[in-house]
Chain A
Amino acid sequence: MNGPVAGAGSSGPGRLLVAVYAVFAVGATSRAAYQISTKFEVAPAAYLLSALAAVVYVVATIALARPGATPRRVALGAISLEMAGVLVVGSLTAFDAVDFPADTVWSDYGRGYLFIPLVLPVVGLAWLRRRAKVSSG
């Protein structure tokens, strides 16, 4: 079995991580496109949030898949935003602080998606930390 190549984004466990992010990127993008194009006036805030989540997943996927320091920083930013998004939106919806008429990927901490949206940024950040250690020594 090959070890992770220094600085490479998508070898070893990163391969699976990028695949999971890619599925969420495609899923969130098409979901947001569908919501905004067919029923935007029903829940503009929720659907714009869906679109934001989609952008975050797309950026994170591409950045994670690329080797090097700059993509690593971009991935760090995107995944941090993702973490904040799922925690804020998850908390607001779980405790009914705001009543979204429509679900987003992050509603109730991603319960509709087996809580993967909650676990994913944690794993992503851990993976970026490990990559940083590997490439620095």
Chain B
Amino acid sequence: MVDPLAYVIIAASLGYAGWGLVAVVRNQNPREWFVIGAAVIELLLLVQGVVAVVMMAVGDGPGETALFVSYLIFALLLLPMTLFWALAEKSRWGTSVLVFGTLVLAALVVRLQEIWEGVPGV
């Protein structure tokens, strides 16, 4: 894990969730800009994922590799599935799915950092 990048992803996810919440309050559908925004976050996450996998390959990974990898896969699949589910609903409720999805993503990245650093839990 690269901490600065993880913080950028967390901040971007929370920012996206806030942006989406404004759209929900203003009764807006999930629009094209939300897809682009989600793609940017996904790209950052993908970079983080590749870096983490490389670090694990050279033996600098977390103690619980299987746990970390399963969280990473969940995190990487989350936004594509969220978009798929959100875009079919042309109402504010579609947008609200995006808000929820990015809040979950932020929590997942925090959890990924904890697992990487060996904080006990689960």
* A residues lining the B interface (CB < 8 Å): 1-2, 10-16, 18-20, 22-23, 26-27, 30-31, 34-35, 38
Contact = CB atoms under 8 A, between A and B. Distances in A.
B101 A19 contact: yes
A103 to B, nearest CB: 8
B70, B82, B93, B100, most chain A CB atoms within 10 A: B93
Nearest to B88: A15
Nearest to B91: A1
A16 B91 contact: no
Interface residues on B, range: 20 to 34
6 contacts: A15-B93, A16-B96, A20-B100, A22-B85, A34-B66, A34-B70
Q: Is the interface of B mostly helix, strand, loop or mixed?
A: helix
B36 interface: no
Nearest to B78: A23
Contacts of B119: none
Contacts of B122: 31, 34-35
Contacts of B100: 16, 19-20, 23
Interface in B54-78: 66-67, 70, 74, 78
